[in-house]
């Protein structure tokens, strides 16, 4: 196993439970034993995809230090982010920057846009004079295709959603973190501006080595960004690997369902249709068996083993891992079926 210090971020067996909103129901397992790493010396684009309620935002909050996991650890250069010193935390907050879904909600409506860019300059000591600060702000705005004279001095409500989201990227450009964590960053901006925004994530990686964890429920947006992909189903990672490989040859029945439920050739349309109508709470609370496959309740290939064991991620090829017993050599569906019949006969009292 790799020494964790070789990695920039290590998510180790993170689980996050919330008390159920329904009386007498067991806790909701929002994130279920998730592990992954981002290497220190290469820039990565990782998209986490899943339906509503699959735990994407909770995992994001675990990573940003906003919601401590119930179990497991998030390590930054080998240190648990939830037990860092004040100084280490300051470094982490500079290295790891969020971009949220609704740019308007992240702005204070009473302050001009300028403040969003001035605060990090002050907080992280990026400039030595007012003049230098202004130069940095102009450069950052131009880097995201905004004219300083068009946006400076204005209030958040006077800008479009796309402009507000671009200001967030200008902020990222100023701070130059090592990692952006973007939770549904384009879901509230016009389709025409989505690609502009996603292209900027590419530019930040290619030109400044800034990695990105991109969270979305939209397969088309995920596919456009490219890179690596992690598919979450009810808190668990059920398939992961190279984006193109997974989209071309999805192995897990859940991934196959997600892809087949977006039949339109229009990529933006495909994305929206991938969203299920079940409520987030319903999906999460369907799961009651900790030792069953998280997709067993909806899987057309379900075998008896799936109801009593939890599949782990296993490599399918060099580019892809899947958590499904269909690919486990040790599981023999025929034997399982015989076992199921035997159990039914026993429970009916014939033996």
Judged by CB under 6 A, does residue 195 bind ligand ATP? no
Judged by CB under 6 A, does residue 276 bind ligand ATP? no
Q: Residue 156 binds which entry of ligand SF4, Mg ion, ligand ATP, none, with Cβ cut-offs from 5 to 8 Å by kind?
A: none
Closer Cβ to ligand SF4, 162 or 304, answer by number:
304
Which stretches of the chain bind Mg ion, using CB under 5 A? 56-57
Task: Centre a 10 Å sphere on the Cβ of residue 299 and count the other Cβ atoms it contains.
Answer: 18
Closer Cβ to ligand ATP, 18 or 124, answer by number:
18
From the list 12, 44, 256, 281, which residue makes contact with ligand ATP (rule: CB under 6 A)? 281
Beta strands at 228-233 and 45-50: parallel, antiparallel or unpaired:
parallel
Closer Cβ to ligand SF4, 205 or 252, answer by number:
252
From the list 56, 171, 214, 270, which residue makes contact with ligand ATP (rule: CB under 6 A)? 56
Judged by CB under 6 A, does residue 52 bind ligand ATP? yes
d(CA 317, CA 242) in angstroms, rounded, equals: 10
Judged by CB under 6 A, does residue 30 bind ligand ATP? yes
Task: Centre a 10 Å sphere on the Cβ of residue 184 and count the other Cβ atoms it contains.
Answer: 19
Closer Cβ to ligand SF4, 44 or 308, answer by number:
308
To Mg ion, the closest distance from the beta carbon of 102 in angstroms equals 11
Judged by CB under 6 A, does residue 305 bind ligand ATP? no
Judged by CB under 6 A, does residue 44 bind ligand ATP? no
To ligand ATP, the closest distance from the beta carbon of 96 in angstroms equals 18
Closer Cβ to ligand SF4, 100 or 295, answer by number:
295
Closer Cβ to ligand SF4, 91 or 309, answer by number:
309
Residues in contact with ligand ATP, counted by CB under 6 A, come to a total of 15
Rg (alpha carbons) of the chain, rounded to whole number: 22
Which stretches of the chain bind ligand SF4, using CB under 6 A? 252-253, 293, 295-296, 299, 301-303, 306, 311, 324-326
Q: Residue 281 binds which entry of Mg ion, ligand SF4, ligand ATP, none, with Cβ cut-offs from 5 to 8 Å by kind?
A: ligand ATP
Closest residue by Cα to residue 44 from 75, 13, 7? 7
d(CA 42, CA 95) in angstroms, rounded, equals: 14
Contact between 197 and 169 (Cβ < 8 Å): yes
Q: Is 233 strand, coil or helix?
A: strand
Closest residue by Cα to residue 31 from 230, 236, 233, 287? 236
Closer Cβ to ligand SF4, 14 or 296, answer by number:
296
To Mg ion, the closest distance from the beta carbon of 212 in angstroms equals 16
To ligand ATP, the closest distance from the beta carbon of 304 in angstroms equals 27
Task: Centre a 10 Å sphere on the Cβ of residue 120 and count the other Cβ atoms it contains.
Answer: 20
To ligand ATP, the closest distance from the beta carbon of 164 in angstroms equals 19
To ligand SF4, the closest distance from the beta carbon of 249 in angstroms equals 16
From the list 7, 10, 46, 55, which residue makes contact with ligand ATP (rule: CB under 6 A)? 55
d(CA 155, CA 134) in angstroms, rounded, equals: 18
Q: Residue 256 binds which entry of Mg ion, ligand SF4, ligand ATP, none, with Cβ cut-offs from 5 to 8 Å by kind?
A: none
Closer Cβ to ligand ATP, 141 or 323, answer by number:
323
From the list 11, 14, 28, 113, which residue makes contact with ligand ATP (rule: CB under 6 A)? 28
d(CA 178, CA 99) in angstroms, rounded, equals: 14
List helix spans (H) across the chain: 56-63, 86-95, 114-123, 130-143, 148-151, 161-175, 191-208, 219-225, 243-248, 253-260, 267-273, 280-286, 304-308, 333-347
Q: What is the DSSP secondary-structure string of 50-103?
A: E-TTSSHHHHHHHHTTSS--SEEEEEETTEEGGG--HHHHHHHHHHEEEE-S-G
Q: Is 226 strand, coil or helix?
A: coil
């Amino acid at each position: 196993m790799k020494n964790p210090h070789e990695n920039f971020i290590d998510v180790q067996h993170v689980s996050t439970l919330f008390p159920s909103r329904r009386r007498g129901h067991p806790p909701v397992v929002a994130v279920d034993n998730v592990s992954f790493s981002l290497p220190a010396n290469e820039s990565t684009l990782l998209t986490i995809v899943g339906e509503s309620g699959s735990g994407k935002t909770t995992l994001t909050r675990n990573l940003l230090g906003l919601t401590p996991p119930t179990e497991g650890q998030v390590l930054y250069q080998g240190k648990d982010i939830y037990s860092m010193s004040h100084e280490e935390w300051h470094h982490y907050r500079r290295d790891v920057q969020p971009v949220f879904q609704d740019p308007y909600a992240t702005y204070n409506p009473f302050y001009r846009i300028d403040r969003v860019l001035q605060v990090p300059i002050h907080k992280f000591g990026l400039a030595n004079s007012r003049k230098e600060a202004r130069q940095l702000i102009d450069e950052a705005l131009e880097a995201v295709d905004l004219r300083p004279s068009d946006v400076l001095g204005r209030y958040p409500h006077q800008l479009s959603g796309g402009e507000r989201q671009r200001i967030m990227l200008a902020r990222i450009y100023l701070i130059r973190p090592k990692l952006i964590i973007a939770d549904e960053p384009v879901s509230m901006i016009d389709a025409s501006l989505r690609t502009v925004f996603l292209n900027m994530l590419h530019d930040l990686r290619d030109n400044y080595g800034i990695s990105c964890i991109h969270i979305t429920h939209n397969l088309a947006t995920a596919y456009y960004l490219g890179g690596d992909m992690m598919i979450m189903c009810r808190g668990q990672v059920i398939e992961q690997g190279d984006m193109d490989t997974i989209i071309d040859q999805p192995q897990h029945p859940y991934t196959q369902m997600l892809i087949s439920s977006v039949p339109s050739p229009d990529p933006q349309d495909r994305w929206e249709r991938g969203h299920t109508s079940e409520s987030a709470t319903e999906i999460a609370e369907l799961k009651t068996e900790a030792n069953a496959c998280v997709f067993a309740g909806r899987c057309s290939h379900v075998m008896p083993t799936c109801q009593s064991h939890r599949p782990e991620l296993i490599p399918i090829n060099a580019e892809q891992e899947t958590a499904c017993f269909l690919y486990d050599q040790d599981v023999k569906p025929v034997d399982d079926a015989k076992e199921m019949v035997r159990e039914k006969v026993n429970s009916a009292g014939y033996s």
